Amino acid sequence: MLSYMRSALDLLARPVHVLRGYSSATLRVDLLAGITVGTVLIPQALAFSLLAGMPPITGLYAAIVAAIVGALWGSSSHLHSGPTNTASILTLSVLLPIAQPGTSEFIVAAGMIAVMAGLIRLAMGLARLGVLINFVSDSVAVGFTAGAGVLIMVNQLAGLLRLNLGSGSPLETVGAAIERWNAVHLPSLAIGIATIVLIVLVPYITRKLPSILIAIAVVSLAAWGLDLQDQGVRMLDAVPVGLPPINQLPIFDLELIGHLANGALALAIIGLVEAVAISRAISGYTQQRIDSNQEFVGQGMANILSGIFSGYPTSGSFNRSALSYRSGAQTAMTAVFSGLFVLLAAFFLGSLLTHLPQAALAGALVVTAYSMIDRRTIVRIWRSARGDMVIMSVTLLATLLLPLQFAVLIGVLMSLGRYLMRTSTPRVEQVLPDPAYQHWTSAAGRLPCPQLVVIDILGDLYFGAVNHVEERILAILARQPNQRYMLLRMQNVQHCDISGIIMLEQLLHTLRAKGGDLFLVRVRTQVHERMQSSGLIDLLGDNHLLDDDAAIGHLFHHVLDPAICIYECDRRAFKECQNLPKRHLPELPKGLSSAIPAEDSIPTIMPQVLWERLHSTRPPLIIDVREPREFRQGRIPGARSEPLADLAAQLPELPKDRPIVLICRSGRRSLRAAALLMAAGYHNVSIVAGGMLDWEARNLLNAVGDQHPDEAAIIGAHGLAEPRQ
């Protein structure tokens, strides 16, 4: 709790760090860059305020406050906060059902929703929820901004044509403009078109001066010189001069707060997406580290104070932020200077602003709105993932057809839903080595090993995903019922909660009930710690967490049954299989099934009992039916090598009056050999329970290498090791 409070105080104390660390060496550069950005901010603030249905002076108030506060509490040196296209049109959409644009009720509601959206952003930043912005797909922002761009252009038809087109849907507005085409005010249309043309052409002449400012200045001078105001061209209302006044907000009006809640949430979300995306885009050039939580705090404080000081909702502006970077800005003080420049301009240029034609501002908004439609990104999304394409398309259509706050929430919910769907259904894939045995690839269309299944889990094992993962694994096992051993590759499992632990335990019980086992490779440290603390490692066994490079070799030599590899499998799935001899068993004698007998149909002898009988006066004859390679690697001293294939092809001469004990690796081949001998009249036959695996596990004496002719005599002279109980 103490660390959280310290972190929150550090986020709120950001201005102290900005001002304390400021160097006078960057003052001149930042000041000039701030004046450059401020000259663009003035006409944009005026235009965006009209777009939001607010008086022009409120745009200047929002520009002054948000630029200064957003810079001091943000983390980016170049992000410029203030009125934007998106925030303005979203504000208008949310407030239209509540009050008429331009009225005192509308202005108060705009300030109130700015404070509410700011509080949401501030709370998210202090709670360190900046990571949540990563779960909102870029497709949402692209679809929403494209739809908002279309809406802005349609909404500016009234200003360009000087027509009263109502406040219907975009299609209704366009239809009303077409129906009333004969009533278009041509001087206003000419001013709007001239503004658009100049904004487009100026960059081809010079990029050192802001095209919007030049276009509006030239058109305004022309309108003043031609006296177009007397011909019906509408100008801006008088802009009052002074510091931003404090707005008397109805903070206890619960009914109004309820009406504004959805819109405030939408403004908060889309504004944060914009601001963080812009910050990160510019940081790609500056290599500056962006703190999303600090940016949340900065945007929250900017909106809270904008609402208090008679402004309306704001966000980060891409074109002003890019202009700040191109102007050589070094620190966040550039945005502070731009806000102070607008404040001075409001004092000294207030009378000049009344000569700005509204049609010129409408033309400027049309150009900026058109630039919001990122056609290249739209085409890329359309050609890429289908999910992104659907999210973008639905968000765009919802923006055009529904209230904007619902369009934003729909896009965000679809984005989160897609994320949850993807994380809750991770890919679970059966894999096999590639033909060169160097990499693991999908096993689709290839014959797997009949004993071992290797599975890649490409996602986290948390409560939302474990059911899907378990179903996929069981489906893979169902396709090969004889596969009893499983190797799970866990390198892509970053997180495993208690639901994942329980699923792995159930899978382990399922495999061991079939006589198999579960092994893991490449378990990440944090996942291993969770397995250790939950007791899964104790249940599984430390020796079941294998080294990735040696896992198949270990399983091949110590776990899998060579009898299946040699006599029953021709797939050679792994590199270790390549040098195995391939042998075919002849059919069993007539009357015997070729299936391996049931385990309880053949007498068995425990390793300890066999050890004791080897010391008796009449020891049994031990027949090892494994392959010669296995026999040389380790055997019961005195055992006789008779590979199962040779035994089945031609029975050797064996004494019928002496007990015969058959042994193999685990007991599978011994069962076949016992069936052969019993069918041939050998009745005193038994097999070693557990085979050589159990013999070695009890630390009984092994002989290695080629068999010595006097091995039985040597054993009799030195005795055998005591078995481990």
Q: Which residues are catalytic?
A: 664
Contacts 24+ apart (CB under 8 A), 223-226: 223/191, 223/355, 223/357, 223/360, 224/355
Beta strand 452-458 pairing with 427-433: antiparallel
Residue listed under structure tokens 């690796």: 665
Taking each continuous run of H as one helix and of E as one strand, the counts in the chain are: 32, 13
Assess contact for 232 and 162: CB atoms under 8 A.
Answer: yes
Spacing of C-alpha 299 from chain mean position: 25
Tokens of residue 569, six digits: 């499998």
Strand partners, 668: none
DSSP 235: B
- Closest by CA to 662, choosing from 610, 586, 598, 724, is 610
Tokens of residue 701, six digits: 């004496």
> What is the distance between the alpha carbons of residues 117 and 57, in angstroms, rounded to a whole number?
21
Q: List Cα–Cα distances, 682 to 155, 279, 603, 640, in angstroms.
A: 100, 85, 13, 17
Element (H, E) at 286: helix 254-286
Q: Residues, the chain, total? A: 725
The DSSP annotation for 545-609 comes to: EE-TTTHHHHHHHHTS-HHIIIII-----SGGGTTS----PPPPPTTS-SSPPPGGGS-EE-HHH
The DSSP annotation for 339-396 comes to: HHHHHHHHHHSHHHHTT-BHHHHHHHHHHHHHHHS-HHHHHHHHHS-HHHHHHHHHHH
Q: How many CA atoms lie within 13 A of 416 on its CB side?
A: 9
> What is the distance between the alpha carbons of residues 276 and 273, in angstroms, rounded to a whole number?
6
Spacing of C-alpha 398 from chain mean position: 25
**Full strand arrangement of the beta sheet holding 452-458:** 440-442, 427-433, 452-458, 485-489, 517-521, 545-546
Opening angle at CA 536, ends 531 and 538, nearest 5: 115
Beta-carbon contacts of residue 625 (< 8 Å; ≥ 6 apart): 642, 643, 644, 647, 662, 663, 664, 669, 670, 672, 673
Assess contact for 2 and 282: CB atoms under 8 A.
Answer: no
Q: How many CA atoms lie within 13 A of 275 on its CB side?
A: 40
- Closest by CA to 553, choosing from 505, 504, 509, 519, is 519
Residue listed under structure tokens 């052409």: 201
> What is the distance between the alpha carbons of residues 314 and 628, in angstroms, rounded to a whole number?
82
> What is the distance between the alpha carbons of residues 142 and 136, in angstroms, rounded to a whole number?
11
Assess contact for 717 and 701: CB atoms under 8 A.
Answer: no
Beta-carbon contacts of residue 30 (< 8 Å; ≥ 6 apart): 329, 330, 331, 333, 334, 337
Spacing of C-alpha 28 from chain mean position: 43
